[in-house]
Amino acid sequence: MTIAQHYELQAPGQKDLDKAVQQAASSLPPCKAYIRSIGDFVSRFAGGESFKLLKYLDFICKQYGGSNMLGEEFCSAVAYTDWKLSGTTLPFLRVALCAVQITAPQAQVRNSISRMISKADIDKLKTKKISDDVQTAEALMASAWEATETTGVPLEQFALACGKMQIRLILHLLGKEMKGREQVQYDSMTDIKDKFEADMLQTSHSGKKDAKSTAEPASVKSLADASNPRSIALDMYQHIKIGKHYVACKESMSKVWQLVDVTESSAILVHKPYFTDEERKEVKHSELKTLKEWSQPVPMLVGDSLRASLLPSASATLKSELLKAKAQTSLYEKYLEFLGKAFSQF
């Protein structure tokens, strides 16, 4: 995700994944030695500039509390293996292999590196013997992903069900089901598909239940609330929540305002510019209807740690180039010194 985060921070029209990889490497992560293969995987199989498949993997990892490293051999194999199939590069199969690796049980982890999937396993998936099964698994995963995306279900509601399906399919293809977390063997990929559909149905029902339970409970208004301008305003404009961020439809969309309070006579909004003092304004209750909720991350200055990692002085490339320049300067000075001695002999 670090590569994706650096890429997303780049200015529109100046996106460069290679620079993002270099920036990620400059922080000296444990995977620095093979970060190029990770960058190539991100470039080809992360789901485009939205990095939706990468974010999905990150969610799966967090759900399992995983901190497993993938390892150099695995990263190279999952990024560069060519199945030589017409019409597909098997993006979902590759993502599924990563999902299996990052969620491996502790028994399959040595020195913090997951050993659940080896290069030999990936080579096995290339054999003609199971080529049809591999393509069937890819089609099932692609179909499941497309079905969940078109329904508009939030990532956190369908990601775990999709992840379990992908993990089950990979372990089934490799005959490693009893080494996984579930330790359940399925007779066929059709059974795994049926299990996924059952999981999604359960997720859908629990999601509706959660939505009901998290919504504000209905209440009977007191006589005081029925006559209180503040309560009336909040009841009338139910999309308005104190603490959330909004943009005013009548103003520049570049300003993001936080609603900090609603009084009996007005609503108080605060905008925090990058380099100047915050702006505060009061608007009438009737103007609350012109506020549109800001659904994106709120623009803000990055923290000192991230800012420091983006400075030129933190770049390993810059340090390397400085050393080269110093070496070249030293050679040039020695060359001039030699010329001076040579001319002094005449």
Reported as a single tens digit per residue, the pLDDT across 151-209 is: 666 777 778 888 899 999 999 999 999 998 889 999 999 999 999 888 887 766 554 44
For residue 169, what are its two tokens?
A: 């399919």
**Domain CATH number, residue 271:** 2.30.30
Residues 263 and 232 sit within 8 Å (Cβ to Cβ): no
Summarize pLDDT for 226-249 with one digit per residue, the tens: 557 787 777 777 788 888 888 887
Residues 292 and 244 sit within 8 Å (Cβ to Cβ): no
How many structural domains are present in the chain? 2
Summarize pLDDT for 258-302 with one digit per residue, the tens: 899 988 889 998 988 877 888 899 988 888 888 888 888 777 776
Show the domain range for 237.
Answer: 225-293
Do 198 and 229 belong together in one domain?
no
Residue 268 lies in a domain: yes
Would the pLDDT of 106 be above 60?
yes
Do 235 and 203 belong together in one domain?
no
Residues 89 and 41 sit within 8 Å (Cβ to Cβ): no
Residues 34 and 76 sit within 8 Å (Cβ to Cβ): yes
